[in-house]
Amino acid sequence: MIPHIVFLDRGSLPVPVPSPDFPHSWQEFPSCTPAALVAAAQGADIVITNKVAIDAAALAELPGLRMIAVAASGVNHIDLDACKARGIAVANIRHYGDDSVAEHAFMLMLALRRNLPAYQRDVAAGLWEKSANFCLFASPVRDLSGARLGIFGRGGIGLALAARARAFGMEVVFAERRGVAVVRDGYTDFDTVLTTSDVLSLHCPLSEDSRGMLGEAELMRVKPGAILINTARGGLVDEASVVAALKYGQLGGAGFDVLSEEPGRSDHPLLRARLPNLIVTPHVAWASQEAMSRLAGQLVANIASFVAGGRQNRVV
């Protein structure tokens, strides 16, 4: 049987995707709404999705589906239990964007420690030309060298960020999971990382245990003036509390590449705030040309492995 492959949101991967080297038929859609999912995937043996959620109800209407190839690392938008019960394989992409996301997180922390957005705003507003000195002392400028970086998540991205931070002379600690009784070797207690780090950077998956792990109570305990970076998942943080912590000076800055609802709407707390010590980018930390090309190649390799009877990058 020649497998029929349907890419539900091809527009989310703006690089060439290699053609599978086995007989197949291919259909793709630029994007796909939840309401259109079942119709789009009818007759598919293999479905490719980046961010289109696939739940148990949709799977029940797709009896011929054999594989879901996720064009991303995160699989929290797939009902894995339902896939397992129906014998549907699920494979994801791994380590394709470690460098890309780490570089983006590092860019955000460097810009915020140097107060780059605030100085850009001040120069554009003409404040430099009004200065009595040759320079403009408007916002504090802080070095990364000597600062402590607390990383939440010790996967490929967290390790890649740690290497960059150490090269800049930062002290790096990895946070243990919240609320655990025993701290593993190589990790530091969650609360200690929270209260002693100059920069906090999130690189952990979103799960029921990690959802909302930095809320109002946690943000009130961070080291005053600390910078928070989130290039992982929006749901890890109470975003309204981040805005409050920035306004009251508890946080010295925040850099977010992810929001709890995407694409971001103009009424979202982080987008509405318009603060000089807040940077929001549109979920592009993963999207360097190099990283997306690696993703595309791995995506097709995962599918080819499944068709050949293999289990490359299988989560189910």
Q: What amino acid positions are annotated as catalytic residues?
A: 233, 262, 283
Which residues does residue 90 pair with via DSSP β-bridges, in sequence order?
A: 68
**What SS3 state is found at 95?**
coil
Do 300 and 13 contact (CB within 8 A), yes or no?
A: no
Long-range contacts of 188-191 (CB under 8 A, 24+ apart): 188/150, 191/221
Do 227 and 251 contact (CB within 8 A), yes or no?
A: yes
Q: How would you list the strands of the sheet with 67-70, edge to edge?
A: 25-28, 4-7, 46-49, 67-70, 89-91
Instruction: List CB contacts of 230: < 8 A, sequence separation 6 or more.
Output: 201, 202, 236, 237, 254, 255, 256, 257, 258
Instruction: List CB contacts of 145: < 8 A, sequence separation 6 or more.
Output: 168, 169, 170
Do 93 and 71 contact (CB within 8 A), yes or no?
A: yes
